[in-house]
Structure 1
Amino acid sequence: MAVSQTLCIAAICLHDADGRLLLVRKRGTQALILPGGKIEAGESAQAALLRELDEELGLHLPLSALQPLGRFRAPAANEPDTWIDAQVFQARLEPMAEVAPAAELDALHWLVVGAPLPAETAPLLRDQVLPALGFYSHY
């Protein structure tokens, strides 16, 4: 793949009380990705993530809820000739927290530990983040 650009993003592994992981799909795409988005100029990864969670899921998390998981790099799932440089965090959703797709999101998908991994899972998630979480150590 000829790389023409790298997108710097902040993303989050949101776990519910049952240990499921929230994935999202952007409108007009097929790939399942982590919630989050592009880091704007002058914005920290945490600030970008909190902004994106509000815009895309109507979710308001305190900064203290974000726990760093790591920094990962992979081919972009939804943009050709592009790589993703992702700062990834983790957080637990409060038991009564509700999330719904908004802005450019089209759908939500809850990934259950041990369930088959959907074919449309993005490379960053499949190859790096899920193994880092211990979700799917055999992938």
Structure 2
Amino acid sequence: MTTTDAATPGIRVIRVSAAVILDELGRLLLVRKAGTTAFMQPGGKPERGERPDETLSRELAEELGVRIDAATLRPLGVFEAAAANEPGFVVVADVFAADIGDQEPRPAAEIVELTWATHADASRLEIAPLAREHFLPA
């Protein structure tokens, strides 16, 4: 969902739900969408009437083939950062911790690549500001 922030005229906002998914080594799962260069957290924009946790559950299934019940997602808060692929926009994300268990994420839909990353990987990868500033493990 794209809106203009009424509190700050001229700021264009993209509202999304995003996941923090860590592997057994503590690395963060990041994805890259077709036609983009930056890796970001899995997730996406809500459909009309969806709660943020429902959005994320749907997006994880569509984009990675990972099935997670929305009720099992753990809310981490609302975070914002500059949009990686849309200049002049700010991303406002409802972020949830998601445990995927032994499910193996695989790129699907618009996702063309995925990687598991730590803060040390930021020097070799283009990483979206939301993930880089708030969620990359040390």
Residue 12, structure 1, aligned to residue 19, structure 2: yes
Runs of 4+ in 1 over 4 A off after TM superposition: none
* Alignment correspondent of 1:38: 45
Determine the C-alpha separation between the residues in 2 that align with 1:11 and 1:58: 15
* CA offsets 1:33-60 (integer angstroms, 9 cap, x no match): 0000002221100010011011100110
> Does structure 2 conserve the Cα–Cα contact (< 8 Å) formed by 1:69 and 1:89?
yes
Match of 1:91 in 2: 98
Question: Does the 8 Å contact 2:56/2:70 carry over to 1?
Answer: no
Among 97, 116, 119, which residue is 2:121 paired with?
A: 116
Instruction: Check the 8 A contact 2:13/2:90 in 1, yes or no.
Output: yes
Distance 2:109 2:17 in 1: 17
Which residue of structure 1 lines up, in the alignment, with residue 110 of structure 2? 104
Q: Percent identity?
A: 44
Q: Supply the distance in 2 between the matched residues of 1:45 and 1:116 (Cα, whole angstroms).
A: 29
Unaligned runs of 5+ in 1: none
Q: CA deviation at 1:15?
A: 1.3
TM-score (norm 2): 0.84
State the partner residue of 1:74: 81
Q: TM-score, normalised by structure 1?
A: 0.84
What amino acid is the match of 1:19? G
Inter-partner Cα distance in structure 2 for 1:92 and 1:11:
13
Q: Deviations over 1:93-134 (max 9, x none)?
A: 21x31110011111001114x63324401111111233xxxx
CA RMSD of aligned residues (A): 1.8
